[in-house]
Homo-oligomer: A and B are copies of this chain.
Amino acid sequence: MFYHVKELQYRSKPECPDPVYAKKLQEILGGQFGEISVAMQYLFQGWNTRGDGKYRDLLMDTGAEELAHIEMLATMIARLLDGAPDVELDEAAQNPVVAAILGGSNPQHSIVSGLGAMPSDSVGNRWTADYIIASGNLLADFRANLNAESQGRLQAVRLYEQTDDRGVKDMLSWLIARDTMHQNQWYAAICELEAKENIVVPSTFPRELEKQEVAYTLFNYSLGNQSAEGRWAHGPSMDGLGTFNYVEDPLPYGKKPKLNPAPPYIHDTPLFALRKSDDLPDPDMK
């Protein structure tokens, strides 16, 4: 169950309206690695955790925080849109700034949301649960989380570089710091589980059931062998259970597949039509 308090986790106020930046900022609100994604991902992982110990608690702590970040960004975007000029093409003739605003802003901010934030990314794609994952396996999911915080912080940093507004930069410096923490925390949780389980997910599948002979092999399918220089091509494997090896010219292990014909009720190309034809009409005679 959730309680909301009306105060923001951190202040969220730009120096000036900037509808073009509002459009961009949508990326970390409603994009693939925006705050909606991490909030929903952590909450679903928490709700699905079978066991109620510290990992579930950590997931709920962080999920609840990410809801607060959605709120901060929604507030910032509404303020960046405040009093956005009601521009028309004529004015652009006078003024390149107006032209840029006209071109660079999101028309849905004025037509659809009434100068409010939208659950969308910086090009207008609506948020989708395709972005999130909760598998029940905590090591797998903490890796998903570490990735999400890495991509998210990278995007926040890129956005930090694209504005001079001190209010926006102030808020982003908060979000970037929280992403630093969140990368550290998932990293710590991963280390704990890897120390107990080994690094390969899932750790509970019997090794003898997988094809051991290719479990530590790098196949060089991209002609040229720079990839042989990496740590992944020689020495003990990272899970400590095998030895990496490199196959420069990998050959197929299987044969050419040949599928049976489909049964008649499928109405595929009839067999007689798949036989050699001598009678294609000459296009000159058509």
Contact = CB atoms under 8 A, between A and B. Distances in A.
A173 B5 CA distance: 29
Given A11-B254, A219-B61, A51 B274 contact: yes
Interface in A1-42: 1-12, 18, 20-21, 23-24, 27, 30-33, 36, 40
A3 B221 contact: yes
B231 A191 contact: yes
Copies of the protein in its oligomer: 6
Given A113-B48, A191-B281, A200 B214 contact: no
Contact of A195 (B18, B47, B117, B277): B277
Interface string A120-155: 111111111111111111111001101100110111
Q: What's the interface size class on A, roughly?
A: 35 or more
A224 B57 contact: yes
A96 B201 CA distance: 35
B188 A256 contact: no
24 contacts: A3-B5, A3-B64, A3-B221, A8-B254, A10-B253, A27-B108, A30-B129, A47-B75, A48-B116, A57-B225, A61-B219, A89-B97, A94-B96, A101-B103, A106-B123, A137-B150, A144-B151, A173-B209, A178-B214, A184-B232, A193-B269, A202-B268, A203-B273, A205-B267
